[in-house]
Structure 1
Amino acid sequence: MTQRARFPASVFSVGSEPDARFSLANERTFLAWIRTGLALLAGGVALEALGLGIHPGYRFAASLVLLAAGLLTPFQAWLGWKATERALRKGTPLPNALLTLPLAVAVLIVGVLVLLGVVQR
């Protein structure tokens, strides 16, 4: 019986198969990043579509920041999943998430923009 090639080969061609619980936890983390990206995109669209009595310039800027963050988050999900799965297979320390600080800064910027938009309406 031949074994079917698994995607991506750059992950599954190294090391040995880890405990399934760790791979499944890694997959749940991937899905959490995807949900976060969807929430950021929805927030950006809703902020601009609903207006909510926020100064238009600040509202638009905050929407753009949310949309940009939402578009970057799936890259974090994919790259993080790959790096973590490789580390699990090789028995090396788990990597840090690359976009945690930039996303935190983006959310902080959105908060400041919305605050300024409410104050200056």
Structure 2
Amino acid sequence: MPEPRWKQEGQDPDYRFSLANERTFLAWIRTALALIAGGVLLHEFAAGIGPRALVTVLSVGLGVAAAGLGLLSYFRWRSNEIAMRHDRPLRFSWSLPVLAGVCLVTSVVLTVFLILP
């Protein structure tokens, strides 16, 4: 695979920063995998905690959030690498508040399901 054009621009950042950026990328990927696992477990083992259709919607929502997070994690990693190569500040990402919101909504709905008979 040829090296991307952006890797040839600017100057190489300190390898420690590149490795830290890569660790952050991997943490985002682990989070996406956890969301996938949570969606599968919810779909398979939560048959008795609420309306099946809503549990399925939550499970699919977790899967979609995981797919989005996996895609966003690459673009975030790439954006950070480019910014470091050009000695620019790192950009703000809306994906963190959105991810927190997905987790909040999912946990509130599941908590309501568990409390109500």
Same fold (TM over 0.5): yes
Please point out which of 88, 108, 112 is paired with 2:104.
108
Report the counterpart of residue 25 of structure 2 in structure 1: 30
Residue number among 57, 67, 77 corresponding to 1:61 in the alignment: 57
| Per-residue deviation, residues 1-26 of structure 1 (Å, max 9, x unmatched) | xxx952x22x3132101101011111
Q: What runs of 5+ residues in structure 2 fail to find an aligned partner? A: none
| Pairing partner for 2:13 from 18, 22, 34 | 18
Partner of 1:97: 93
The question of whether the paired residues in 2 share the 8 Å contact of 1:76 and 1:98 is answered with: no
Show CA shifts across 1:41-78 (max 9, x none).
00000011011631123322221221111111111211
Q: TM-score normalized by structure 1? A: 0.86
1:62-106 Cα shifts (integer Å, max 9, x gaps): 212211111111112111011000010000001123311111111
Question: How many residues of Structure 1 are paired with residues of Structure 2 in the alignment?
Answer: 116
Q: Which runs of 5+ in 1 are unaligned?
A: none
CA distance in 1, matches of 2:7, 2:77: 12
Which one-letter code corresponds to 1:58 in the other structure?
A: L
Query: Which range moved further: 36-45 or 59-68?
Result: 59-68
Say which of 67, 82, 86 aligns to 1:86: 82
Moved over 4 A (4+): none
- Please state if 1:119 is matched with 2:115: yes
Is this contact kept in 2: 1:58–1:117, CA < 8 A? no
Supply the RMSD in Å over aligned alpha carbons: 1.8
> What's the TM-score once normalised by structure 2's chain length?
0.89
Q: Which position in structure 1 is the counterpart of 2:39?
A: 44
Q: Equivalent pairs: percent with the same residue?
A: 37
Distance 1:15 1:87 in 2: 9
